Amino acid sequence: MSPARWAKGSRIMAAFIHPTSIMSTSRPLRWGILGAARIAGSALIPALRATRSEIVAVGCRDEARGAAYAKTHGIANVTSYEGLIERDDVDAIYNALPNHGHAPWSIRAMHAGKHVLCEKPLALNADEVAQMKAASEATGKLVMEAFMYRFHPQIDRLREVLASGRLGPLKWMRGSFTYSLRDMGDCRWDPKLGGGALYDLGCYPLSIMRLVTQAEPKVMSVVSRLTDPSLYEGGSVDHAAHAVLGFETASGRVLGHLDSSFSLPFFCHFEALCEDGILRLPIPFASKGVQTELHIGDEVERFAICDPYAMMVEHFEAAARGECALRFGMDDSLNQAIAMDALLAGAHAHPVA
């Protein structure tokens, strides 16, 4: 159904596009939270409760920290990582561990009979993703990379407009995600834990470029800034990177410019430059609970405030119950990891002062 529009000035059009309901009549899953992470507390726990899912327990290495986290978020049970994945009253795990814990603990959870919604990046490299895919196939349990931005209605609308040809063929893309991470004790600075701005932030513009082109990139160039190797054992991580990607599509090559950084102010943006106009999303990756807009040339479409995390959870639960197929499965995550491996290799090969 096309959105209703009304005039707002001589050349600006506006539309409010409402998301579908997140309430399901099917039985929600029973969840365990793996890791006492901020992202779980701020995003996934509220999303699970919005979909009326039961949060059974949190798994944490530090008993005191886990108890404090459970009290803060109203979770009845606290256990170890091992204890969580072995519980008979847990159907699905949300893996919120640092990046190095994504593959091993997700694989163990699947072999323990649990579906897994895992934070991005799904793993540290393509080999680990391939192991997760094999575990999913062997156990029949789902695993999905938690790129929640893909479930916001603005993304489907962006793809719809591009596919319509209304603005002509796509030629260029620009995607940026940056913020200032000043806490040098944060795990995202630690190379042994899978730190770095490309893993944490650059994965988003990479993902959306792959999504809108339905093509896999060739990494044409990467420049980066790396941390002082004396900061942590294990070497350096990228704290800023710029990459140029090439995507071969049916209408020709599309160039993508990608930026990610821990050392710049907050900036979250995506543009698709077509032959006859520009599509722009001012807030593509941080869209929870805020007013979002899609700029289509001189027109503006506005979207009702929503929670894409809750929409992601609803979809994942429906797939786990066998009601639908995952929109984004392991083949997508494997191709994402292959591209990320190439970006990281370039970042470490071409640092700048």
| pLDDT at residue 147 in the model | 98
Q: Which of 19-28, 71-80, 289-298, 300-309 shows the lowest mean pLDDT across its residues?
A: 19-28
Render pLDDT for 164-182 as a digit per residue (tens, 0 to 9): 999 999 999 999 999 999 9
Residue 13 above 60 pLDDT?
no
Q: What's the CA gap between 33 and 58, in Å, rounded?
A: 5
Render pLDDT for 113-140 as a digit per residue (tens, 0 to 9): 999 999 999 999 999 999 999 999 999 9
| pLDDT at residue 248 in the model | 97
Residue with tokens 């323990």: 112
| pLDDT at residue 26 in the model | 76
- Catalytic residue, candidates 114, 120, 141, 288: 120
More confident residue, 161 or 1: 161
CB 98 within 8 Å of CB 234: no
192 is catalytic: no
β-bridge pairing 115-118 and 238-249: unpaired
Residue 110 phi, psi dihedral angles, 5° rounding = -65, -40
Rounded mean pLDDT, 285-301: 96
Q: How many Cα atoms are found within 13 Å in the side-chain-facing hemisphere of 110?
A: 23
Q: What is the mean pLDDT of the chain?
A: 93
User: Taking the complete model, does pTM exceed 0.75, yes or no?
Assistant: yes
| pLDDT at residue 12 in the model | 41
Render pLDDT for 16-70 as a digit per residue (tens, 0 to 9): 554 544 445 578 899 999 999 999 999 999 999 999 999 999 999 998 999 999 9
Residue 2 above 70 pLDDT?
no
For the chain, list the domains and their CATH numbers: 30-147 (3.40.50.720), 149-308+327-349 (3.30.360.10)
Question: Where are the alpha helices (H) located in 99-202, listed in sequence order?
Answer: 102-111, 126-139, 153-164, 197
Q: How many Cα atoms are found within 13 Å in the side-chain-facing hemisphere of 348?
A: 12
CB 20 within 8 Å of CB 125: no
Q: Could you tell me what percent of the chain has a pLDDT over 70? A: 93
